[in-house]
Amino acid sequence: MIEFRNVKKTYPNGTVALDGVNLRINDSEFVFIVGSSGAGKSTLIKLLLREEKVTEGRLIADEFDLTKLPNYKVPYYRRRLGVVFQDFRLFPNMTVYENVAFAMRVIGEPNKVIRRRVPSILNIVNLQDKYNCFPRELSGGEQQRVALARALANNPDTIIADEPTGNIDPKMSLEIMNLLVKIHKKGKTVIVVTHEKNLVDYFKQRVITIRDGKVVEDKIGGMF
């Protein structure tokens, strides 16, 4: 469970990015977060990733109080999250297999676990025939699927996808969204930040709209 309790985020220059946000996302929910550029979507995600700290209010993620979480505990908290970015953030000199395995190696998973788990994850995202390819040899949609596989590598409770379809064509965008829905059906919490109206309207999940740093609409089966 993720809960924002009257959260405010003010930057040193006085800009108020979030103002009195009250929001609860239950375990195993699928949520779209939408809004125009500068509305506060990215700030909300940065707070959730604990890249930035709340100025006022409380932010709770399961047993972690992110408002008070000491820096040395942040890496342990982040292990519960899988993050997919718009720009993929793959290592260009690593193969598909190595990019996914890297996420497991940094937390100390033994090689036998990596060898067993990476192929199964790549099967989930339909990249079983691309193990030895480098990112430059893949399409944008395939690269995003690698990024999604890497986000799944450590079996996180929550997947956060920040504009995951921003750099790929409409057909691949639909494919990525279908994969996220598939992952959600396995019991994961999925949070998607997007500006893609057609995708939001098509999938009819919970839609949270942010405007000027405030949650102005929150609908189940909503539309953009």
Per-residue tokens: 73: 């505990």
Mean pLDDT over 14-38 rounds to: 96
pLDDT digits (tens, 9 = 90+) for 136-177: 999 999 999 999 999 999 999 999 999 999 888 888 899 999
Mean pLDDT over 108-128 rounds to: 95
Does 184 have pLDDT greater than 80? yes
- Site of tokens 């996420």: 103
Mean pLDDT over 111-115 rounds to: 96
d(CA 121, CA 104): 12
Does 222 have pLDDT greater than 80? no
Supply the DSSP string of 78-92, one letter for each residue: HTTEEEEETT----T
Residue 190 exposure: Cα atoms within 13 Å on the Cβ side: 27
Question: Which residue ranges form the domains of the chain, and what is each CATH number?
Answer: 1-80+158-224 (3.40.50.300), 91-156 (no CATH)
| pLDDT for the residue 169 | 87
d(CA 157, CA 145): 18
Structural contact between residues 103 and 154, judged by C-beta atoms closer than 8 angstroms: yes
- What's the length of the chain? 224
Q: How distant, in Å, are the alpha carbons of 120, 133, 182 from that of 127? A: 10, 10, 15
The whole-model pTM stands at 0.93
d(CA 144, CA 154): 17
Mean pLDDT over 98-112 rounds to: 95
Mean pLDDT over 179-183 rounds to: 94
d(CA 82, CA 66): 17
Does 223 have pLDDT greater than 90? no
Does 99 have pLDDT greater than 80? yes
d(CA 195, CA 163): 7
Per-residue tokens: 110: 């033994």
| pLDDT for the residue 9 | 98
d(CA 62, CA 152): 19
Q: How distant, in Å, are the alpha carbons of 25, 190, 198 from that of 83? A: 17, 10, 23
DSSP 3-state assignment of 69? coil
pLDDT digits (tens, 9 = 90+) for 38-93: 899 999 999 999 999 999 999 999 999 999 999 999 999 999 999 998 889 999 99
Q: What are phi and psi of 132, to 5 degrees?
A: -100, 10
| pLDDT for the residue 154 | 94
d(CA 129, CA 8): 46
Beta strands in the chain (DSSP E): 2-10, 16-25, 30-34, 56-61, 64-65, 81-85, 158-162, 189-193, 206-211, 214-219
Supply the DSSP string of 202-214, one letter for each residue: HH--EEEEEETTE
Average pLDDT, the chain: 95
